[in-house]
């Protein structure tokens, strides 16, 4: 069988057409979840799929998906997808690339009159960006992972999520009905920009993602005694900031030593006046890794270090690492090799819809480089060649899985 190729020009034009929606107001792309521009974007994707013969529906969460039947009986669909909502003043490729590339795969199969054995499903997930309280709202609804009371959470503009949904004609109380059963998809693949600079720096154009890192966040409070900075001698001070600062270096050191990422992201000095010895420091730090054991080890060491330095640490949140399916990773690696495409493995440091979908289906992701590692900003950029190369691997991976999976 001649391998169907991606029509790169068409892929780039589709991305441009989508990005004309939400080009205003403000710089960058503005298709914030459930806004008129976002709904119009997902309507456009639905229209493309309908033209390609897919049966298209929007579910209770606003996820737009299309299914094209396969040639074999009784197989669950192979799914491709991502999201087309953006952060305010977002970039042109985050999510959009993955959806447009999925459509490009469908266009290519259609142009070559190639039918998969499995049904092909393309999903444009709703509200992936963390603009509706937490992120991944559409994919969490679809995989049955909505938390209670999510409708009352504040959206990015302070209005409750329920109100944003109502504005798009959706009822937050009905979202759970979007749920699908485990095993209802044969596999899920998602192409995305890296949103970091590792591929850009290393010059490798494609990464297969072996998993999405787990994240643990902690708060530490250091307490001292606020006092007059002019009249309190150096040997009579209890300075909270002097206790806290070495801990910042502990976090950095443990990250380097154990080979994970560790960051102090907030740091407040109180009362915060130049003539007062700091009486209290509140900081938060997080650690991320694909390896749960490493997270345990780093968490334990840093909690111990915080106490040793006189702080009171407490955990704030923890999400477990999500491993990609080894079978899907191996199919994607084989796809790269068949295409002669240089690639490497790279875990994702950010959350994606694939993380939710892993609860109901085997899944894996592909990354292409982000120039300078910049995303969630108008400057977000990958070259046209990188976008097309990513779509080519996505298509080859899809065909590989169609042959390998039952």
Flag whether 164 is marked binding. Answer: no
Question: How far from each other are the two terminal CA atoms of the chain, in whole angstroms?
Answer: 20
Q: Does 70 bind Zn ion (CB under 5 A)?
A: no
Ligand-binding annotation for 129, yes or no, is yes
d(CA 131, CA 133): 6
Q: Determine whether the annotation assigns residue 217 to a binding site.
A: yes
Asked if 324 contacts 210 with a C-beta cutoff of 8 angstroms, the reply is yes
* Count of chain residues binding Zn ion (CB under 5 A): 2
DSSP assignment, residue 255? H
Q: Is 343 annotated as a binding residue?
A: no
Of residues 207 and 302, the one with the C-beta less far from Zn ion = 207
Minimum CB–partner distance for residue 189 and Zn ion (Å): 15
Would the annotation count 94 as a binding residue?
yes
User: Closer to Zn ion at the Cβ: 31 or 343?
Assistant: 31
Cα Rg, the chain, nearest whole Å:
24
**What tokens were used for 72?**
């074999």
- 94 or 194, CB closer to Zn ion? 94
Find the part of the chain contacting Zn ion (CB under 5 A) among 61-69, 91-99, 169-177, 304-312: 91-99
Min. distance of Cβ 125 from Zn ion in angstroms? Answer: 9
Cα–Cα dist 79/90, whole Å:
26
117 is in an annotated binding site: no
Judged by CB under 5 A, does residue 333 bind Zn ion?
no
Token pair in block for residue 125: 């997930």
Segment contacting Zn ion by CB under 5 A, of 40-48, 93-101, 130-138, 325-333: 93-101
Rounded to a whole number of angstroms, the minimum distance from the CB of residue 86 to Zn ion is 9
Specify the stretch interacting with Zn ion by CB under 5 A; choose among 59-67, 86-94, 237-245, 297-305: 86-94
User: In terms of CB distance, is 95 or 210 closer to Zn ion?
Assistant: 95
Asked if residues 47 and 37 have their Cβ atoms less than 8 Å apart, the reply is: no
Q: How far is the CB of 365 from Zn ion (least distance, A)?
A: 10
Question: Could you tell me where the DSSP H helices lie in 259-368?
Answer: 292-308, 326-339, 353-357
309 labeled binding residue: no
141 vs 290: CA distance, rounded Å: 24
Verify binding: residue 94, Zn ion, rule CB under 5 A: yes
Buried b (16+ CB within 10 A) or exposed e, 330-349: ebbbebbeebebebeebbbb
140 is in an annotated binding site: no
Our CB check for Zn ion shows the closer of 129 and 402 to be 129
Work out which of 88, 92, 95, 205 binds Zn ion, going by CB under 5 A. 95
Q: How many other CB atoms are found less than 10 A from the CB of residue 307? A: 13
Q: Which two tokens stand for residue 294?
A: 């490493």
C-beta of residue 142 within 8 angstroms of C-beta of residue 59? yes
Binding site for Zn(2+): what residues are annotated? 83, 94, 129, 192, 376
Binding site for allantoate: what residues are annotated? 217, 275, 288
Binding residues for Zn ion, rule: CB under 5 A, are 94-95
């Amino acid at each position: 069988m001649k391998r169907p190729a991606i029509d790169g020009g068409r892929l780039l034009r589709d991305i441009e057409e989508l990005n004309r929606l939400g080009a205003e107001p403000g710089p960058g792309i503005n298709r914030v979840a459930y806004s008129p521009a976002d709904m119009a974007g997902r309507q456009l994707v639905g229209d493309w799929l309908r033209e390609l013969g897919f049966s298209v529906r929007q579910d209770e969460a606003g996820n737009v998906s299309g299914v094209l039947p396969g040639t074999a009986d009784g197989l669950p669909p192979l799914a491709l997808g991502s999201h087309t909502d953006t952060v305010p003043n977002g970039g042109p490729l985050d999510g959009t690339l993955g959806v447009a590339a999925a459509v490009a795969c469908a266009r290519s199969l259609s142009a070559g009159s190639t039918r998969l054995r499995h049904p092909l499903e393309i999903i444009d997930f709703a509200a992936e960006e963390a603009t509706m309280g937490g992120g991944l709202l559409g994919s969490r609804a679809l995989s049955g992972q909505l938390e209670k009371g999510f409708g009352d959470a504040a959206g990015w503009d302070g209005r409750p999520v329920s109100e944003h949904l109502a504005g798009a004609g959706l009822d937050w109380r009905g979202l759970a009905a979007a749920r699908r059963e485990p095993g209802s998809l044969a596999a899920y693949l998602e192409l995305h920009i890296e949103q970091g600079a590792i591929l850009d720096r290393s010059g490798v154009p494609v990464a297969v993602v072996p998993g999405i890192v787990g994240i643990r966040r902690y708060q530490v409070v250091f307490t001292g005694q606020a006092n007059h900075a002019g009249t309190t001698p150096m040997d009579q001070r209890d300075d909270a900031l002097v206790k806290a600062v070495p801990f910042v270096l502990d976090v950095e050191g443990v990250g380097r030593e154990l080979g994970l990422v560790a960051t102090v992201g907030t740091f407040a000095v109180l009362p915060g006046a130049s003539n007062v010895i700091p009486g209290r420091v509140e900081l938060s730090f997080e650690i991320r890794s694909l390896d749960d054991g490493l997270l345990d080890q780093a968490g334990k060491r840093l909690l111990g270090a915080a106490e040793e330095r006189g702080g009171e640490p407490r955990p704030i949140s923890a999400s477990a690492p999500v491993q990609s399916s080894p079978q899907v990773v191996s199919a994607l690696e084989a796809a790269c090799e068949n295409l002669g495409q240089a690639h490497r493995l790279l875990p994702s440091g950010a959350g994606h819809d694939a993380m939710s979908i892993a609860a109901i289906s085997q899944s894996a992701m592909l990354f292409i480089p982000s120039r300078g590692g910049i995303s969630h900003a108008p400057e977000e950029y990958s070259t046209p060649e990188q976008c097309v190369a990513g779509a080519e691997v996505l298509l080859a991976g899809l065909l590989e899985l169609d042959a390998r999976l039952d």
